A and B are shown apart, each in its own frame.
Chain A
Amino acid sequence: MSFSLAKTPLHAWHRDRGARMADFANYEMPIQYAGIVSEHVATRTAAGVFDISHMGRLRFDGPRADQLLDHLLTRRVLDMQTGQVRYSLICNEEGGILDDVLVSCLESPSGKNYFLLVVNASNRAKILHWLQPHLADFPDVEFHDVTDSTAMIAVQGPKAIELCKPLLPASALTLGYYRAKVTEQMNKPCVVSRTGYTGEDGLELIVKAEDALRVWENIILAGRDLGVQPVGLGARDTLRLEAGMPLYGHELDETIDPYSAGLGFACNLKDRLFVGREALEAKAKDTSLPKRVGLVVDGRRAARQGSNVIDSDARVIGQVTSGSFSPTLDQPIAMAYLDPTIAIVGNTVDIDIRGTQVSATIVSLPFYKKA
């Protein structure tokens, strides 16, 4: 028996460019090209171009698609307007997080509304399985997993919009934050949204798999004189960490609820019924739950996922979920879940970094905010 890794439509380009490739969620993905810090800085100062085709893309058509999604998502879907994008969670009945997603309400060229759900690559199979019984309850909703037939490219950074000027119609460049539309890129269909996972302004494009290489190369070419770089998953992680954004498998999993994660804004409990609502109602009032915090760590060595956070009596009071050296702050940063009595901005704690205790200060998230 052999398992081979999935490849995005841009796989050969990454390979040819000498990118370091590694398995991520069963895709062979570029981790870095020029280097994590170089790519990180390019995204913060000019723009970065990311192949995020591994993300799952699920399409729901039909007049009751909104009702199906409203039943599954913690965020209200029924009142979504055409062109709107929302960040939401999918929870189980116990209020544990199955995935964090972006849901978009789009208008197809034929004038009909449909919904697009972008899910984490690592959760796609789980969510497809989770959807099955619910899809059976809504037989009139037409469902398609369009992940393999499409590609997804993120363009992020202060020069992202300028960079896309020669490539996209003006209406795509003036989209508001968390707005999306179906448009064209050189006469080919393209979904553009003003969203991202870096803390910078930018766009995310979904194109047909067969158009991906042409679009990607056009963006890289247009950015040649702007200091634009292709960016791998390594810098994608340091960028999102600085932006204080959670990553499934680190800050989020089925044992964590949205309120602990600081994602209560993505749960609309009022006047709705959805999977997990009852459990979430109790969690919303529970003041004993651990809290997700940001930590700035003394010294140069980073606390990594799994490091214990300890108090002055050497009691373990939480765990680091993500940690890295921050290229922008030039010091190590981390996120952790801590006991709520301690999880207060300004408090200092110790982190056990491979046997050495290092002091860290709780700070408000995000670590980095664009000017």
Chain B
Amino acid sequence: MSITPEQLRYCDSHEWAYVDASVPDVAIVGISAFAVEELTDLVFMALPKIGQNVSAGSEFGEVESVKAVSPMYSPVSGTVTEIHSALVDKLESLSVDPYNEGWIMKVKMSDPSELEKLLDWNAYKKQCENR
């Protein structure tokens, strides 16, 4: 089963979070297709460390294109339980499928209610269209 953009919650800053109903306290985090398209020509990504604490709205890593460096902000608070290490060497997969192959980290959430504060697909889509 693959994740579709409609199933996700989003930050204003273009990160997404997905929660599988079978593991309700873990969020999978990535960046949106819109962000990847805006950044273009990705060359580097700095991932967080497993066990690292992240908090909603704070920087957890960075992504770099030929021209610029952009911080990535966590949509939720909690502890990093898994990172997608292989992604760093195939950043092009972010352009192909940012919602499945392009996942960045998994976070065991300390406060799953934070998800409610994030944008849903329609609100996020509207934000991108109005830019």
- B30-51 vs A, CB cutoff 8 Å, 1 = contact: the mask equals 0000000000110110100000
Q: Which chain B residue shows the least CB distance to A35?
A: B40
A238 vs B40: C-alpha distance in the bound complex, in angstroms? 14
- Say yes or no for A116: interface residue by CB 8 A criterion: no
Q: Which chain B residue shows the least CB distance to A31?
A: B67
26 contacts across the A-B interface (CB closer than 8 A): A36-B66, A37-B40, A37-B66, A234-B66, A234-B67, A237-B67, A300-B43, A300-B44, A300-B64, A301-B43, A301-B44, A301-B46, A301-B64, A302-B66, A302-B69, A304-B69, A324-B67, A325-B41, A325-B43, A325-B44, A325-B64, A325-B65, A325-B66, A327-B66, A332-B43, A354-B69
Q: Which chain B residue shows the least CB distance to A234?
A: B67
Q: Which chain B residue shows the least CB distance to A324?
A: B66
- Say yes or no for A32: interface residue by CB 8 A criterion: yes
Residues 184 to 229 of chain A near chain B (Cβ within 8 Å): none
Interface size in chain A (residues, C-beta < 8 A): 17
Taking the closest CB of chain A, its distance from the CB of B3, in whole angstroms, is: 26
Residues of A within 8 A of B41 (CB): 35-37, 325, 327
Enumerate the 10 nearest inter-chain pairs by beta-carbon distance, A residue then B residue, closest first.
Answer: A300-B44, A325-B43, A301-B44, A37-B41, A325-B66, A35-B40, A36-B66, A36-B41, A300-B43, A301-B64
> Which residues of chain B have a CB within 8 Å of any CB of chain A?
40-41, 43-44, 46, 62, 64-67, 69
Residues of A within 8 A of B69 (CB): 301-302, 304, 354
Residues of B within 8 A of A237 (CB): 67
Q: Which chain B residue shows the least CB distance to A37?
A: B41
Residues of B within 8 A of A301 (CB): 43-44, 46, 64, 69
Q: Which of B41, B62, B66 has the most CB of A within 10 A?
A: B66
A174 vs B40: C-alpha distance in the bound complex, in angstroms? 38
A301 vs B66: C-alpha distance in the bound complex, in angstroms? 9
A32 vs B69: C-alpha distance in the bound complex, in angstroms? 17
Taking the closest CB of chain A, its distance from the CB of B66, in whole angstroms, is: 5
Residues of B within 8 A of A37 (CB): 40-41, 66
Residues of A within 8 A of B40 (CB): 32, 35-37
- Given A234-B67, A325-B44, A354-B62: 7 more A-B contacts, CB < 8 Å: A36-B41, A37-B66, A237-B67, A299-B44, A304-B69, A324-B66, A325-B41
Q: Which chain A residue shows the least CB distance to B68?
A: A304
Residues of A within 8 A of B46 (CB): 301
Residues of B within 8 A of A234 (CB): 66-67
- A89-131 vs B, CB cutoff 8 Å, 1 = contact: the mask equals 0000000000000000000000000000000000000000000
Taking the closest CB of chain A, its distance from the CB of B94, in whole angstroms, is: 14
Residues of B within 8 A of A304 (CB): 69
A32 vs B65: C-alpha distance in the bound complex, in angstroms? 13
- A313-345 vs B, CB cutoff 8 Å, 1 = contact: the mask equals 000000000001101000010000000000000
Residues of A within 8 A of B62 (CB): 354
Q: Which chain A residue shows the least CB distance to B88?
A: A300
Q: Which chain A residue shows the least CB distance to B38?
A: A20
Residues of A within 8 A of B65 (CB): 36, 325
Residues of B within 8 A of A302 (CB): 43-44, 64, 66, 69
A32 vs B41: C-alpha distance in the bound complex, in angstroms? 11
Residues 15 to 48 of chain A near chain B (Cβ within 8 Å): 32, 35-37
A238 vs B41: C-alpha distance in the bound complex, in angstroms? 13
Taking the closest CB of chain B, its distance from the CB of A5, in whole angstroms, is: 18
Q: Is the CB of B64 within 8 A of A238?
A: no
A188 vs B40: C-alpha distance in the bound complex, in angstroms? 39
Taking the closest CB of chain B, its distance from the CB of A288, in whole angstroms, is: 34
Q: Is the CB of A238 within 8 A of B66?
A: yes
Residues 275 to 310 of chain A near chain B (Cβ within 8 Å): 299-302, 304
Residues of B within 8 A of A300 (CB): 43-44, 64
Taking the closest CB of chain A, its distance from the CB of B45, in whole angstroms, is: 9
Q: Which of B40, B43, B64, B69 has the most CB of A within 10 A?
A: B43
Residues of A within 8 A of B43 (CB): 300-302, 325, 332
A36 vs B65: C-alpha distance in the bound complex, in angstroms? 10
Q: Which chain A residue shows the least CB distance to B40?
A: A35
Taking the closest CB of chain A, its distance from the CB of B68, in whole angstroms, is: 8
